């Protein structure tokens, strides 16, 4: 919040800001794999990363599927960032709504056009695409929607 506040302070009233944040729901498989890495006491060295990636390829768990589908799986540096990253902040849409309110920012919509199309197909063209609580309901039913991250625009009030 402190960093976000600094950015907000640089905006003029009516100014726009694009934000990218990780989704708690979409990143659950990654979080579970990180817990396993922690229990195995693996480090972020090349040997451990390659060995663990091999273990994932051979496994049959549901988390494996989500990770192998990620473009980050096939590059050592990207896989390190995806799985062995030491600190990551994840959010839910209700939390983001609270942050936006606290920072006096208006939610202006998601960048993911495919997600917006699917949202409208489910809820109708007149659905509140700026309603983060409705989006949260959608994401609970479709947790992979924001697998990359939430990317959205907001405006300073």
Q: Is the pTM of this model over 0.75?
A: yes
What pLDDT does residue 20 have? 96
Q: In what order do the strands lie in the sheet with 150-156?
A: 90-91, 16-23, 150-156, 105-110
Per-residue confidence (pLDDT) for residue 61, from 0 to 100: 80
Q: Which of 34, 53, 155 is nearest to 105 (CA)?
A: 155
Residue 117: the pLDDT is 96
Looking at residue 43, its pLDDT comes to 84
pLDDT score, position 109: 97
| pLDDT of res. 64 | 80
pLDDT along the chain (157 residues), means of 10: 96 97 93 87 89 86 81 88 86 98 98 96 93 98 94 98
Output the pLDDT for position 113. 95
Q: Which helix (H) or strand (E) holds 59?
A: none
pLDDT reported for residue 57: 86
Where would I find the beta strands (DSSP E) of 25-139?
A: 90-91, 105-110
Round to whole Å and give the CA distance between 36 and 74: 20
What is the pLDDT, as a whole number, of residue 128? 94
pLDDT confidence of residue 70: 81
């Amino acid at each position: 919040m402190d960093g976000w506040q600094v950015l907000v302070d640089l905006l003029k009233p009516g100014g726009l800001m694009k934000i990218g944040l990780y989704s708690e729901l979409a990143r659950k498989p990654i979080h579970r794999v990180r817990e396993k890495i922690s229990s195995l006491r693996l480090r972020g060295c090349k040997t451990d990363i390659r060995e663990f990636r091999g273990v994932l390829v051979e496994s049959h768990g549901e988390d494996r599927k989500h990770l192998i589908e990620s473009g980050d799986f096939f590059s050592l540096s990207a896989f390190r960032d995806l799985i062995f990253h030491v600190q990551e902040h994840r959010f839910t849409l209700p939390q983001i709504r609270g942050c936006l309110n606290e920072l006096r920012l208006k939610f202006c919509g998601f960048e993911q056009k495919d997600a917006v199309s699917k949202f409208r197909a489910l809820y109708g063209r007149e659905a509140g695409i700026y309603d983060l609580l409705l989006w949260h309901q959608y994401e609970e039913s479709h947790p992979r929607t924001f697998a990359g991250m939430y990317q959205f625009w907001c405006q300073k009030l």
